[in-house]
Chain A
Amino acid sequence: MLTDRRTLIAGLTATLLAPRLAFAATVTDAAGRAVPIPDKVERVFPAGPPAAILLYTLAPDLLLGWPRANRPEECVYMLPDICTRPEIGRITGRGNTANLEVVLARKPDIILDVGSTSATFVSLAARVQEQTGIPYALLDGRFDAIAPTYRKLGELTHRQTAAEALARYADETMATIKAGVEKISEGRRPRVYYARGPRGLETGLGGSINVETIDFLGAHNVAAERKGGLAIVSVEQVLLWNPDVIVTIDRDFAANVRTDPVWAQVSAVRAGRVHLSPKMPFGWVDFPPSVNRLIGLWWLAKILYPEQFPEDIGVLTHDFYRRFYHVTPTDAQIEHVLAGRD
């Protein structure tokens, strides 16, 4: 009975929407679902921040809006007219802030989701597509899948050439860095503690998305003995781990750690190897988990293996922001970003 009604509604919706949509082809998304793609894709609804960032880098004009409104200081590093597009909520994740009626009212040609391809999100994609009649493509959000995800997004939006350029940049960056890291012997790979929160006591456990790029670089995450996501640890535990390098996203922590008598004992602090991650316009280390982590990979590589990677991070940043964020930052702006300021 229930399924009958659902089929009926789905059928009705499809009939009502059919005249507007002409499907040129189907594209198989990262979850193996065949997604029908209209001839013309002009309006794309991003399901969450990773999708919005990825779409902005490839085809900013298609982006209907942002899951959360950007702040003015972030818009310095983005196309101003796109950056100020409205807040439209998010479909996936813990808080489903987008109303499906609002999604429909925005008349998107497709809904784009980038992230986990686990059963939860596959079923969410199927359900939203059935309810709205709008093709819902789910792409792989893992860090090492950035290149294939760009190629897939190129197919979905009919922007294959531009997507290929970005995918190739990602491939080359990862290949260059991987080759450099492979030259470094196991013994010279630092033990890294990733610090979040104002006290620096939130950290990413083994296999968590937070430390994906640190893992990619072959460094040892000190908290990796436990698998999981984010967790709290005690200062005693950090002293026991005694990491060689601390990477943090928290400005307060980075500012205070040098003068804190407890943290002063940690090797990383004594050696001056506490690094505050840049965060403008999007974080460089973990969140949001999108292509913004690619420039962060260069930054981390240089921090972890300074001798192996002599490249100028300012030049790399300029190049990345031009290719991906469509802006040409000034030297002063790049300095501002690299200092980890807001």
Chain B
Amino acid sequence: MPRSAAPGLLIAFAVLVAGLLLAFTVGRYPVGLGDLLNVVAAKLTGQAAEAPAAVENVIWQVRGPRVLAATLVGAALAVAGTAFQGLFRNPLVSPDLLGASSGAALGAVLGIYFSLGVFAIQAFAFAGGLVAVAAVYLIGSAVRARDPILVLVLTGVVIGSLLGAGVGLVKYLADPYNQLPAMTFWLLGSLAATSVADLVPLFGPVALGTLVLVALRWRMNVMSLPDEEARALGLPTGPLRIVIVAAATLVTSASVATAGIIGWVGLVVPHIARTLVGPDFARLIPAAALLGGGFLLVIDTLARTMAPIEIPLGILTALVGTPFFIWLLASVSKTWS
């Protein structure tokens, strides 16, 4: 039964706007709503703001970049999760299925181990995610099997655990006083250190990957069918799968490189999006992006305001995601019987 996408998308949009408002107005540094409006209005009209320079600085240099980064990372993970759940025809799949997160984690801990600078660590993480997924794909395709998707998933699991062992090894060898805490913090996920300079390397890959997925929306609908049916409809499933995986990986790796490991967003948000707008990827991708951005904005606002010290994002998303996942398992198992 087709239904109108408009209300669902509107709700998703409202969630993002509410998230943005909340994230901009709440924070450790007191910024009044008046000051906020004044600073934003001044920027728009090109006049000098009446608010103190410190407040202006917090809004444009500290909170602004962080809010944008949270939106981008949340949207990216949700979009990648949506693409993967469709591609693998499985509602329990998340964007790190093919090893993007574990590869990025290994890249980042190696960067910390070699005492590199911030941007080099992020570049290592980004490259690690891409290399890991490429390796999984190559190995998975080299194995001749009747069910290529299953082989791909299993290769992802196996390589993921190998990379996890690599992370463990680097942590074990690391200097316990300086490097180990840095690695632990990175693996828990945080946007605490986001600055304006972080936004470009995040925005580029996320925008590119998302655009590719949006462009493929109709084909992704067909790809959700079993392989033989999709091929019968004249779709080159092999090359398409590579493009979709590459786009989702680009998006995931860029967000993991910026924010560290943040689980659950890519698993939970696509489901909420699907209940709002239905399974059509043309609406599902924008809805997931809007909801993912709004969701991570709320989570990140909690992370930076609940205490003087930061609460790792990975911990907060797990607190929210676990009950949801259990509920999901319960409802999925009903349809299995």
| Contact A223 B190, beta carbon cutoff 8 Å | no
Residue of A nearest to B303 (CB): A234
| Contact B310 A261, beta carbon cutoff 8 Å | no
* Binary per-residue interface labels of chain B (156-178) against chain A in the complex, 1 for a CB within 8 Å, 0 otherwise: 00000000000000001001111
Q: Which residues of B47-106 have CB atoms within 8 Å of chain A's CB atoms?
A: 53-54, 57-58, 61-63, 66
| Contact A261 B57, beta carbon cutoff 8 Å | yes
| Contact B27 A236, beta carbon cutoff 8 Å | yes
CB distance from B210 to the nearest CB of A (A): 27
| Contact A198 B309, beta carbon cutoff 8 Å | no
Q: Is A100 an interface residue (CB 8 A)?
A: no
CA–CA, A97 and B121, complex, Å: 26
* Binary per-residue interface labels of chain A (247-264) against chain B in the complex, 1 for a CB within 8 Å, 0 otherwise: 001001000000011100
CB distance from A204 to the nearest CB of B (A): 10
| Contact A231 B309, beta carbon cutoff 8 Å | yes
CB distance from B22 to the nearest CB of A (A): 15
User: Which residue from B30, B177, B178, B307 sits with its C-beta under 8 Å from A226?
Assistant: B307
CB distance from A10 to the nearest CB of B (A): 29
- Chain B residues positioned under 8 Å from A202 (CB to CB): 181-182, 185
Size band of the interface chain A makes with B:
35 or more
- Chain A residues positioned under 8 Å from B312 (CB to CB): 232
| Contact A262 B178, beta carbon cutoff 8 Å | no
| Contact A262 B195, beta carbon cutoff 8 Å | yes
| Contact B29 A232, beta carbon cutoff 8 Å | no
| Contact A239 B29, beta carbon cutoff 8 Å | yes
Q: Is B117 an interface residue (CB 8 A)?
A: yes
- Chain B residues positioned under 8 Å from A95 (CB to CB): 172, 176
CA–CA, A231 and B308, complex, Å: 10
Residue of B nearest to A68 (CB): B175
Can you list 19 residue pairs at the A/B interface with Cβ under 8 Å?
A49-B177, A199-B192, A223-B309, A226-B307, A228-B309, A230-B181, A232-B185, A234-B192, A234-B310, A235-B62, A235-B192, A236-B28, A236-B58, A236-B62, A236-B63, A236-B304, A237-B304, A239-B62, A265-B53
**Knowing that A233-B308, A234-B62 are A-B contacts, what are 12 other residue pairs whose CB atoms are under 8 Å apart, sorted by A's residue number?**
A68-B175, A93-B176, A94-B176, A95-B172, A201-B193, A223-B309, A226-B309, A233-B192, A261-B61, A286-B177, A287-B177, A288-B177
User: Residues of B at under 8 Å CB distance from A?
Assistant: 27-30, 53-54, 57-58, 61-63, 66, 117-118, 121, 172, 175-178, 180-182, 185, 190, 192-193, 195, 304, 307-310, 312
